[in-house]
Amino acid sequence: MIDYTVTGGVCVLRLDAPPLNMITFGLLDALRGALRRASGEPGVRGIVITGGPDHFSAGADVALLRAATRAEDAIRTSRLFQEAFQEVEDSAKPVVAAVAGRMMGSALELAVACHYRVSARPARFSMPEVTLGINPGAGGTQRLPRLVGLEAALRMLLAGEAIDADRALALGLVDAVCDGDELLDRARAVLESRPGPRRTSRLTEKVQDAAANDAAFEEAGKRLARGRPEIIAPKKILEAVRAGLDESVETGLVKEQTGFAECMDTLATRNLIYLFFATRETGKIDGLAGDRPTGVARAAVIGMGSMGTGIAHAVILAGVPVVVLDADATALARGAERIRASVRKRVDEGKLATDRADGMLALLSTTAEWQGVADADLVIEAVFEDVPVKRAVIGRIEAACRPGAVIASNTSTISLDVLAEGMHRPERLVGMHFFNPAHRMPLVEVIRRDATAGGVLATALAFAKRLRKTPVVVRNREGFLVNRLFLPYLKEAFRLLEEGAQAQAIDAAMVEFGFPMGPFVLIDMAGLDILVMTDRFLSRAFPRHGPLSQVAVRLVDGGHLGQKTGSGVYRYEKGDRTPLPSEATGRIVAQVQQEAGRTPRDVGTDGITRRLVLRMVGEAFHVMAEGVAQRESDLDAATVLGMGFPGFRGGVMKHARDLGLSKVLADLESLTAQCGERFLPSGLLREMEGAG
């Protein structure tokens, strides 16, 4: 696990635990053993701990978390990591970390326990524990502030913010930056030039300005107040950091151990960890083992509208050349300019180096000629949502590209079987359903027809991963997965509005539940016309879902499409996206109520939440029963990544299980009696509940 070599008085300890050098208890033991051996060798003057030239370590094996649910196990895990890294810091001989790649969590905690650090460029440094709902447990809360100062440390610890090698150098997190192939030479040079061990826990220079510390803690306190009470990790991080500074590093380390155990004892943290594994499962497909993906050296996108632009952007971000074709020259120019402006903005914000941005933009080209896409290995169509238009475009792709090229459709509603009709080689059609904005949203639904070839599916999956997205494989069924749940949720929100609940109260209830925004703020952003259009397709496939509220229909008829027209469910001042109460919506709601002879009623927050959440939960069991998703955890990953279902609740199915299937079934039955068959529980839910 540790490769041990001594040359010229320097002992190099190379982590050797392929493929990712994940830190396990076994690796910690091996490291301690190797350190002691090096300490005892008289010929060794200094020690270098390193990994590969472009990758140091992926950090602690997350599987350790699964085994640390009991408090004593959590405390022991944290203590074993702390003790190992303390031994590194206590080494009488100077220790340099020579690191590269993505330095996350415990990998970084190991590096900061060394006396000096040399980093390859490019490298990224982050402490993402907080996103898993835990505090760092291997000394990170104690050493990081002493190395980079409190303010920078808290940003990394509380926000999981990643920094690059140059920023790390400026902050003092690393002592030198070089190319990967010079890493060991630079580490040796640092050993030669430094007086001896510099123990991070004893540094005080960057944490002794009381006023700066107060300001940093105050800022952190504000961040805490904005966070979810269910997730206690930020509070535990602050407690450990404070204890380390106000009392002693030893006290801070104990706080790390107990904080970690307390975090592991919460449902929110267990759900976040569950989700971590769920998102890694989605790409594993039954019966696909023998099918190899085709490499995509060059991609093409057809249609430079909102989606095509975002998809092309995502493709160049991943370093893949892409050509975009659109029938409309203005759309082509506008889309390309949007991508350029967005990349330039990242350069201006200091998030992207100019040469990397130039390299990325050079990967983008546009064309109006079908010949221009002929050499693409994968073509994604993102033209209008219209069957004849899409069929014609797919026909042109088949005529222009070689027979082995994969054809992916970004359709949101049209059955791929309908699009495959008339194709010469329909087995090469697959769905790749991106979410808006496609260069940011982390989910891609990969839609599989029964006839989609295994290799085609494997290529779509591999390509989605290359775009650093989470692919979820979905059977070809109307609405696929996310829209199948999201649309009923939006429709239910309009029904509540019609019954008398206030739009602001509905949105507030969902934010309280944990969504990043409420359904109406969201639909105003996306456009109510999209809701009406999508519902037209889905209500035909699922009559049980019932009609869309007349409130939504009349808002669209009246031109209230959302932010893009200055009014939707809410009203917007010019140039301002703050949702304001809309008189027009109020009038339409009153009119619809009057026509239906309905007396508006007060629906409390609990009533709103129950209806909206159970509408999604109920539908999720139907989706499972129909085999649309391969496994429950796929539904969880997709709902969190694709529609903002709160991660600390683990996703829609995990939430149902946490509520208890008997309670879910009873609630759905009572809602069916109260509201109608759209809440009808699926047979699968009854079976699962019956089976206990």
Question: Does 331 interact with ligand NAD (rule: CB under 6 A)?
Answer: yes
Give the nearest distance from C-beta 118 to ligand NAD in angstroms: 45
Is the distance from CB of 281 to CB of 470 less than 8 angstroms? no
Segment interacting with ligand NAD, rule: CB under 6 A, options 95-103, 306-314, 340-348, 588-596: 306-314
Phi first, then psi: give them for residue 93, nearest 5 degrees. -95, 145
Question: Does 161 interact with ligand NAD (rule: CB under 6 A)?
Answer: no
364 has which bridge partners?
322
- Pick between residue 126 and residue 470 the one whose CB is nearest to ligand NAD: 470
* Residues in contact with 415: Cβ distance below 8 Å, sequence separation at least 6, in sequence order: 476, 478
Give the nearest distance from C-beta 380 to ligand NAD in angstroms: 10
- Pick between residue 434 and residue 679 the one whose CB is nearest to ligand NAD: 434
- Pick between residue 155 and residue 449 the one whose CB is nearest to ligand NAD: 449
Structure tokens at 439: 């260069």
Helix (H) or strand (E) holding 314: helix 306-317
Active-site residue, from 89, 129, 262, 445: 129
The residue from 132, 302, 429, 643 that contacts ligand NAD (CB under 6 A) is 302
Angle at 674 between CA 672 and CA 675, to 5 degrees: 70
Strand order from edge to edge, sheet including 299-302: 364-367, 322-325, 299-302, 378-381, 406-409, 429-434, 443-448, 470-475
The residue from 51, 145, 303, 455 that contacts ligand NAD (CB under 6 A) is 303
Give the nearest distance from C-beta 278 to ligand NAD in angstroms: 22
Question: Does 644 interact with ligand NAD (rule: CB under 6 A)?
Answer: no
The residue from 110, 158, 253, 382 that contacts ligand NAD (CB under 6 A) is 382
Residue 281 known to be catalytic: no
> What separation in angstroms does the CA of 55 have from each of 62, 119, 152, 175, 188?
18, 10, 24, 18, 19
- Pick between residue 67 and residue 392 the one whose CB is nearest to ligand NAD: 392
Question: Does 585 interact with ligand NAD (rule: CB under 6 A)?
Answer: no
Structure tokens at 677: 């068959």
Rounded CA gap, 388 and 381, in Å?
A: 13
- Pick between residue 153 and residue 637 the one whose CB is nearest to ligand NAD: 637
- Pick between residue 198 and residue 564 the one whose CB is nearest to ligand NAD: 564
Segment interacting with ligand NAD, rule: CB under 6 A, options 371-379, 408-416, 491-499, 629-637: 408-416
Burial of 208 (0-12, 13-18, 19+ CB in 10 A): exposed
Which residue is closest to ligand NAD by CB? Answer: 305
Give the nearest distance from C-beta 49 to ligand NAD in angstroms: 46
Give the nearest distance from C-beta 312 to ligand NAD in angstroms: 11
Segment interacting with ligand NAD, rule: CB under 6 A, options 54-62, 214-222, 377-385, 617-625: 377-385
How would you label 108-139 residue by residue, b for 16+ Cβ within 10 Å and e otherwise? bbbbbbbbbbbbbbbbebbbbbbebbbbbbbb
Question: Does 410 interact with ligand NAD (rule: CB under 6 A)?
Answer: yes
Question: Does 304 interact with ligand NAD (rule: CB under 6 A)?
Answer: yes
Interface with ligand NAD: number of residues (CB under 6 A): 24
Give the nearest distance from C-beta 444 to ligand NAD in angstroms: 10
The residue from 109, 326, 398, 632 that contacts ligand NAD (CB under 6 A) is 326
- Pick between residue 383 and residue 430 the one whose CB is nearest to ligand NAD: 383
- Pick between residue 80 and residue 389 the one whose CB is nearest to ligand NAD: 389
Tally of helices (H runs) and strands (E runs) in the chain: 29, 15
The residue from 69, 86, 306, 565 that contacts ligand NAD (CB under 6 A) is 306
Give the nearest distance from C-beta 456 to ligand NAD in angstroms: 19
Query: Would you list the DSSP string of 486-531?
Result: HHHHHHHHHHHHHHT--HHHHHHHHHHHT-SS-HHHHHHHH-HHHH
Rounded CA gap, 37 and 187, in Å?
A: 20
Which residues inside 484-543 make contact with ligand NAD, applying CB under 6 A? 526
Give the nearest distance from C-beta 530 to ligand NAD in angstroms: 6
Segment interacting with ligand NAD, rule: CB under 6 A, options 9-17, 175-183, 406-414, 628-636: 406-414
Segment interacting with ligand NAD, rule: CB under 6 A, options 11-19, 245-253, 378-386, 550-558: 378-386
Tally of CB atoms within 10 A around 202: 10
Burial of 84 (0-12, 13-18, 19+ CB in 10 A): buried
Query: Would you list the DSSP string of 563-609?
Result: GGGTBSSSB--TT----B--HHHHHHHHHHHHHTTPPP----HHHHH
Active-site residue, from 109, 398, 492, 499: 109
> What separation in angstroms does the CA of 548 have from each of 489, 492, 500, 565?
11, 9, 16, 21
> What separation in angstroms does the CA of 596 have from each of 308, 409, 599?
42, 41, 9
Segment interacting with ligand NAD, rule: CB under 6 A, options 38-46, 146-154, 376-384, 556-564: 376-384
Tally of CB atoms within 10 A around 72: 9
Which residues inside 425-464 make contact with ligand NAD, applying CB under 6 A? 434, 436
Question: Does 651 interact with ligand NAD (rule: CB under 6 A)?
Answer: no
Rounded CA gap, 131 and 648, in Å?
A: 10
User: Which amino acid makes up residue 609?
Assistant: T
Residue 109 known to be catalytic: yes
- Pick between residue 141 and residue 411 the one whose CB is nearest to ligand NAD: 411
Structure tokens at 591: 């009119």
Per DSSP, helices labelled H in 67-178 are 71-90, 106-113, 140-148, 150-159, 165-171
The residue from 54, 193, 362, 384 that contacts ligand NAD (CB under 6 A) is 384
Structure tokens at 131: 């996103």
Rounded CA gap, 129 and 363, in Å?
A: 34
DSSP E strand boundaries for 316-438: 322-325, 364-367, 378-381, 406-409, 429-434
The residue from 257, 366, 412, 415 that contacts ligand NAD (CB under 6 A) is 412
Q: How many Cα atoms within 13 Å fall on the side-chain side of residue 112? A: 33
Give the nearest distance from C-beta 381 to ligand NAD in angstroms: 8
The residue from 6, 44, 361, 389 that contacts ligand NAD (CB under 6 A) is 389
The residue from 63, 67, 289, 327 that contacts ligand NAD (CB under 6 A) is 327
> In the complex, which residues of this chain contact ligand NAD (CB under 6 A)?
302-308, 325-328, 331, 382-385, 389, 393, 410-412, 434, 436, 526
Active-site positions read 109, 129
